[in-house]
Amino acid sequence: MDQKQTPILEALATMERRPVRGFGAPGHNLGRGAARDVRKLLGSRVFEADVITPKGLDDRREGAHVVQRAHEIAAEAWNADFCRFVTGGSTLSLHMALAAVARAGDTILLAANVHKAERAHALAAGLDARIVPVIVDDGWDVEHGVDPAALAAALDANPGAKAFVLVSPTYYGVTSDVAALADLCHRRGVPLICDAAWGGAFAFCEALPDDALTKGADVAVYSMHKTMGALTQGSALLARGELVDRQRLWMAYELYETTSPSVPILASLDAARRDHAVDGEAIWRGTIARAADLRARLAGIAGIRVLDEPDLPPGSQLDPTKVLIDVSALGVSGYAIDDWLNEHHRLCVGLSDARHLLAVVSVGTTVGDVRALAKGLADCVARIGKGDLTPTSAAEAPRIATLTTEMAAAPADALFGPVEHVRLEEAAGRIAAEIVAPAPPGVPRLVPGQRIGAEHVAWLTANRDLGMFLLDPTDPSERTIRCVAASADAPS
């Protein structure tokens, strides 16, 4: 197929040249019904492009197969057998992937650092989620991937598992040994689903880590908006091989995807795929060069260190465009530095926590951006040295390695049964009845049915006081946690 083709983008351009007088959705009708201030801020072209796929982008029966052709071209670009563009983000793509392989009551294996999306689907669909430990680097206080020995033990302990879900690369840009993990799964007929949200571009540049599909993953999910230039919520769901029933995967896509997908998002996915298939090597060689420039500039700033290849577990690779910065030696939390950079330099990083900042160098990052971040960090470190930033106890905050994952009740029973709110400081020993997922990276530290340990209380309170943000707590103040009611928690 001709990878220079962009069926969705081309059909949209035709639509804009010959607009249709519509008497259906969307009701703004090419922007004429949109609020004037919104139209002024966003521009009229946004609304002109906001059409629906039938009777807009395509005919009433989608007879030109505009979106379908885009999917076929994208599948070939990734050397896959199946592709669907998803406009609800990789959260929705992961729901689709899991729905294709498991039903209520089935066991699935989840890496301990999966995103909230996987845990939420398991909870809603009634899946029996079993956790596979990940490699925890206590020196860096970060989670990496899954060691093959840990997966082998989990597969032996759960012979009926319907799938294993891996995060590779992690939010920090570190891959697992996907080939070894896929081999373990395939020997048992278990599909490997790879949450590769940050790794969509790997297939298009030799200097990036290996693509998950080429190393044996059966399903891969890519957030093309994260690094590849598509609009936010643009995701791709791909599959390869025969281990996952592609008809079921297609049906899961049709069940979950909205019947009114955003055409601007679809067009941006189509164009991002084209740019990467045609020019991905050059695009990412330049991006990697800018990341290397940032790393070199940061090396001259005292008090910080940057994750690099020698810090990785065996079998792992590092995406060099993900620049993880340890700031713990500065005596100020990453949260505080992030806020200071935003206030004083109008800079924001991809992630901040008690000990780290994460700078994501992507296709849209400029040389000027790199210089500004390095200058801002150097300024911040100088201000810290002068006492302009208040010292924090970040260095003493509990580490991720202390957290446990003991399940004490069925997740659905905990979520839907009698509950009460308990002060976080008094919650040790109770059973959680909500998902607690600091963001980013959106990895749940507690899920419904999980026993809350003293270590969870210590970790959450310390990070809360330092500036942690939770995705959707039932108590926005983060002072209480939703727990199984004491009467229901009591042993019978």
50 — pLDDT class (breaks 50, 70, 90): confident
**What pLDDT, on a 0 to 100 scale, did the predictor assign at position 456?**
96
Asked, for residue 67, whether it belongs to a domain, the answer is yes
Least confident piece of the model among 102-116, 292-306, 387-401: 387-401
pLDDT given for residue 492 in this prediction: 47
Whether 237 is in a domain gets the answer yes
State how beta strands 142-143 and 136-137 pair.
antiparallel
Does residue 186 sit in the same domain as residue 46?
yes
55-59 mean pLDDT? 76
Q: pLDDT band at 489, cuts 50/70/90?
A: low
Greatest mean pLDDT among 47-51, 55-59, 155-159, 329-333 lies in 155-159
State the Cα–Cα distance between residues 217 and 194, nearest whole angstrom: 6
User: Do 249 and 110 lie in a common domain?
Assistant: yes
- Strands 305-306 and 235-239, how do they pair? unpaired
**Strands 322-326, 305-306: parallel, antiparallel or unpaired by DSSP?**
antiparallel
Domain count, the chain: 3
Are 259 and 287 in the same domain? no
Cα 359 to chain centroid distance, Å, stands at 15
Q: Is residue 2 part of a domain?
A: no
Domain that includes residue 106, residue range:
7-276
pLDDT at residue 48, rounded to an integer: 83
Lowest mean pLDDT: which of 35-44, 196-205, 354-363? 35-44
Q: Are residues 262 and 287 in the same domain?
A: no
Which of 13-17, 140-144, 236-240, 246-250 bottoms out in mean pLDDT, i.e. has the lowest? Answer: 13-17
CATH number at residue 119: 3.40.640.10
**CATH number of the structural domain spanning residue 322:** 3.90.1150.10
Show the DSSP H helices in 102-177 as ranges: 116-125, 148-157
- The mean-pLDDT minimum among 20-24, 184-188, 361-365 falls in 20-24
Could you tell me if 417 and 381 lie in one domain?
no
Nearest Cα neighbor of 5 from 103, 91, 66, 73 is 73
| Mean pLDDT of the region 400-404 | 92
Only one residue has tokens 């060069």, namely 289
Say yes or no to pLDDT of 490 above 80: no
- Rounded to a whole number, what is the distance in angstroms from the first to the last CA of the chain? 64
Report the share of the chain in percent with pLDDT over 70. 99
Are 451 and 356 members of one domain?
Answer: no
The answer to whether position 1 is within a domain reads no
Domain final residue pick, 396, 416, 440: 396
- Residue 481 domain-assigned (yes or no): yes
Indicate whether 386 pLDDT > 70: yes
Q: Is residue 181 part of a domain?
A: yes
What is the number of residues in the chain?
Answer: 492
Could you tell me if 40 and 172 lie in one domain? yes
- Written as six digits, the tokens of 146 are 């899954």
- The reply to whether 25 and 116 lie within a common domain is yes
378: its two tokens: 């150097």
Residue 195 lies in a domain: yes
Task: Give pLDDT, residue 43.
Answer: 86
- pLDDT tens for each residue of 15-36: 788 877 777 788 888 888 888 8
pLDDT in tens, 206-238: 999 999 999 999 999 999 999 999 999 999 999
Q: Alpha-carbon distance 85 to 89, whole Å?
A: 9
Domain boundary (255, 276, 297) is at: 276
Same-domain check for residues 382 and 260: no
In this structure, the answer to whether residues 376 and 227 fall within a common structural domain is no
Average pLDDT of every residue of the chain = 94
> How far is residue 173 from each of residues 124, 324, 490, measured CA to CA in Å?
29, 9, 43
Position 389 pLDDT exceeds 50: yes
Same structural domain, 242 and 203: yes
What would the two tokens of residue 237 be?
């769901």
The answer to whether residue 48 sits within a structural domain is: yes
If asked whether residues 325 and 467 sit together in one domain, one would say no
What residues have CB less than 8 Å from 113, skipping those under 6 apart?
Answer: 134, 143, 167, 170, 441, 443
> Per-residue confidence at 491, pLDDT binned at 50, 70, 90?
low
Query: Mean pLDDT, to the nearest integer, of 332-341?
Result: 95
CATH of the domain at 456: 3.90.100.10
Decide if 345 contacts 379 (C-beta within 8 A). Answer: yes
Using the 3D structure, point to which of 372, 396, 420 is the last residue of a domain: 396
- pLDDT at position 360 is 97
Q: Cα separation of 397 and 377, whole Å?
A: 22
